[in-house]
Amino acid sequence: MINRKKFDFVLLALLVLLIFLGCIAIYSASTTVVSGFKGTQNYWWRQIIFAVVALAGLTFVIWLPMPIFDVLILPAFIANIIALIAVLFTPSVSGAHRWFSIGGINFQPSESAKLLSILIIARNISREGLSDYRKILNGFSIMLIPIILIMLEPDFGTTIVFWVSLMAMLIAADVPVFYILLILSPAFSVVASVHWIGIVLWLLFLIGFLVMSRLSWVTITVAGIVNGFVSLVMPLFWMGLKDYQQNRILTFLDPTRDPLGAGYQIIQSKIAIGSGYLFGKGWLGGTQKNMNFLPEHHTDFIFSTIGEEFGFAGSIILLGVFVAFFARMIRASGELMVSERRVATSGIFAYLISQSFINIGMNIGLVPATGIPLPFISYGGSNLLFNTLSVAVVLKYMNERGFMK
């Protein structure tokens, strides 16, 4: 099973290290010392159990013979889509239908959908002789199935991650970068439409860029019209919104507008992280976690506990481990020669790094709060399991790569 010459022990070690750091942080986040009483909620040992299960799953994936693994992906994907449909009919938990609850264990099918969609799309778009146009079309069509189902739950935050990994997979499948930019251009147009100078500059840049890329006139015209339309319609659309709808969007972008809701948590998180200063208040020494984060400070806001208790030094060390981990994954995507596996690895890399960035960014008030947990660190069973399994897939591909390189 494990090929000593090829197996990426470093990646595995970094993975285990991250999970370990997560358990330490969760222990602290779920512990409070109040006038001599030390109370610990049972989150941390549950996370340890989840970790053991996740590592067992990792072992299983690596052990599974490659042909069987390949055959299993499609049925697993279909089953997952069915689960995504079925979950919409479960009783709602605080307004959303995201979880199956079986015997006290909550399973979130959108977690497994990330990994399985990546694997399916990787297989589809890395087929021989597929035009760039077909790659983009196929990738989008497949990705839309889970995305629409997840939007219905509703869970918008998670879908961002799907888009990012799709882009990364297209790049890895050798789709030219300017196509990707072309796909993303309407999003830029939305941002640029804030001001008319922005619109003009952006459209000039876009058309110049397209002409330079020697694309066909048809493409240039279509892209120009679409972007022009989006930038012109956006302000009208914005003006057509009711005050409270505008407020909702503005609050999403700037949570401090809503001090009684989302803004309160973000500010608390910033105070916690900022007050950690250089070296932090020491493990279990955090004071801000005793404030009002419950129930998120061991899940989405776990980074605030780390920032508070280990300071800037601790944040740097955690980021360092993440950097090493992602560097290892980039290396893996470079070394894999089978195009399907390279594309899949790129997708997994993008999905993990985008979650990490969004989560930490959310903790320090950089990006809007979207309810995305920090991979391997945040408390949560299905999240940890499928993040670990996606690394397992990368490890498996590395382990069984050819001798060509």
Partner 1 sequence: MSKPTRLFSIFSAILLAILLVSLFRLQVLRGKYYQQVAESNVLRIRRIFATRGEIYDNKYRPIVQNIPSHDLYLTTNKVVDIEALARFLFHHLGIENEELVEIVQKQRFKSYEEILIADNIEYESMLKISEYLDNFPELNFRIGSTREYLYPNHFSGYVGRINEEEYEKYRSEDYSLNGYIGKTGLERFYEVLLRGKDGKEIVQVDSRGRSLDLFSHEESYLEPLNGLSLVLTIDNDLQNFCEKAFPRHLRGALVVSDIRTGGILAYVSKPDYDPNIFMQRISPEAWKELNHKSKPMLDRVIHATYPPGSVFKPVTAGLGMEKKLVNRNTRFKSCGGGYQYGNRYFRCWLHSGHGRTNIIQALAQSCDVYFYDLSLKLPLDEFKDYAQRSGFYGKTGIDLPNERRGFFPDTQWYKENYGQNIQTSGHKINLSIGQGEILTSPIQMNAYFAALANNGVWIQPHLLKQTVGRSRLTAAEVQPLKSMKLPFSDSDLKLILEGLYATCNSKYGTAAVVQVPGAKTFGKTGSAENSMGKTTHAWFCGHIETDKPEIAVTVFMENAGGGGSIAAPVAKQVFDYYIGNIEDIKRTVAIPAQFRTAEDEEEEPQEEEEIVQPEEAEDEEDIIEIEEEEEEEQ
CB of 119 to partner 1, least distance (A): 18
Residue nearer to partner 1 on the CB measure, 44 or 77: 44
C-beta of 146 vs 314, nearer to partner 1: 314
DSSP string, 224-249: HHHHHHHHHHHHHHHHHS-HHHHHHH
Name the residue nearer to partner 1 (CB basis): 6 or 331.
Answer: 331
| Shortest Cβ 318–partner 1 spacing (Å) | 10
Min separation Cβ 285 and partner 1, Å = 12
- Whichever of 116 and 306 has its CB closer to partner 1, that residue is 306
Map tokens 């319609």 to a residue: 233
Contacts of residue 340, Cβ cutoff 8 Å, sequence gap at least 6: 122, 123, 126
Of 99, 25, 20, 105, which Cα lies nearest the Cα of 55? 20
Kindly give, in sequence order, each residue whose CB lies less than 8 Å from that of residue 349, ignoring residues fewer than 6 positions away. Answer: 168, 326, 329, 330, 332, 333, 394
Q: Smallest distance, Å, CB 272 to partner 1?
A: 7
Peptide bond into 75 cis (omega under 30): no
Q: Which is nearer to partner 1, 287 or 399 (CB)?
A: 287
The distance of closest approach from Cβ of residue 364 to partner 1 in the complex, given in angstroms and rounded to an integer, is 5
Toward partner 1, which CB reaches closer, 39 or 103?
39
Of 59 and 256, nearer to partner 1 (C-beta) is 256
DSSP-derived 3-state class of residue 93: strand
Q: Residue 88, exposed/middle/buried by CB under 10 A (0-12, 13-18, 19+)?
A: middle
Q: Are 300 and 378 in contact (CB under 8 A)?
A: yes
322 with 360: CB under 8 angstroms?
Answer: no
Q: Which residues bind partner 1 (CB under 8 A)?
A: 32, 34-37, 39, 94-95, 168, 171-172, 174, 177, 254, 256-260, 263-264, 267-268, 270-278, 287-288, 290-294, 307, 311-312, 315-316, 319, 323, 326-327, 330-331, 333-334, 346, 349-350, 353, 357, 360-361, 364, 366
Q: Tell the smallest beta-carbon distance from residue 316 to partner 1 (Å).
A: 8
Name the β-bridge partners of 38.
Answer: 33
C-alpha separations of 322 from 19, 153, 161, 187, 328 in Å: 11, 30, 18, 28, 10
- Closest contact distance (angstroms) between CB of 168 and partner 1 is 7
